[in-house]
Structure 1
Amino acid sequence: MLAKPFGKPIHVFVGLGFPRQINTVVDAYQFALEWGGNSPEQRAAVRACKAALAGEVEADTARGVFIEFARRKDILIEDEFVTPATLGTRPNHV
């Protein structure tokens, strides 16, 4: 199975707010499978990653679906927060 790297990594929060970098379709697929629950967004992310791994869609298509899953679960670290100084901290939501 090929790793199929994303054009740009995705950063998500895991556990108690620790950041994790998702670099490939395989990373995203494993993360979505391991996520607790069975939401439509999670199922869509798993399906999109499977399709990318099978060569049916581009890796960045799966990336977009995974980003929407992460955003809806409030674990996505938006690009403006991804800097070396802030990667280790979760921003305060006002």
Structure 2
Amino acid sequence: MYNTWFSKAVPVSTGVTGDVRNLSNAEQALDLLTNHWRDAGSIKHKAALRACRQAMNGGVSADTARDAFVEAAREARILVE
């Protein structure tokens, strides 16, 4: 099992009410990207999906996946900054 914990949680706004979730690892990010993403299919969304999957397989570090996820969340306007 590979370490997929981010060095710092990523706060994102989710749902209709804009609840803030703090995602702490690649598995949580992958779940959001796969099952609950507003605008799936962009280049940044696909890059984040790929990076999270690679982190889970040990191909990239968790923080590389975090960086890709942050960029996708920023593009989707759900990143809480």
Q: Normalising by structure 1, what TM-score? A: 0.76
CA gap 1:55/1:2 in 2 versus in 1, 3 angstroms: closer
Equivalent residue number for residue 33 of structure 2:
32
Secondary structure of the equivalent of 1:74?
Answer: coil
Within 2, Cα distance between the matches of 1:47 and 1:55?
12
Structure 1 unaligned blocks of 5 or more: 79-94
Q: CA deviation at 1:43?
A: 0.9
Size of the aligned set, in residue pairs, is 78
**Higher RCO, 1 vs 2 (CA within 8 Å, ≥6 residues apart):** 2
Match of 1:12 in 2: 12
CA drift of 1:70 comes to: 0.3
Report the counterpart of residue 22 of structure 1 in structure 2.
23
Q: Kindly provide the amino acid, as one letter, of the partner of residue 29 in structure 2.
A: A
Where does residue 59 of structure 1 map in the other structure?
A: 62
Q: Which amino acid aligns with 2:47?
A: A
TM-score (norm. length: structure 2): 0.88
Give the root-mean-square deviation of aligned CA atoms: 1.4
Say which one has the larger Rg.
Answer: 1
- Segments of 4+ moved more than 3 angstroms: none
Q: What amino acid sits opposite 1:19 in the alignment?
A: V
Residue aligned with 1:51, SS: helix
Identity among equivalent positions (%) equals 38
Equivalent pair of 1:45/1:65 in contact (CA under 8 Å): yes
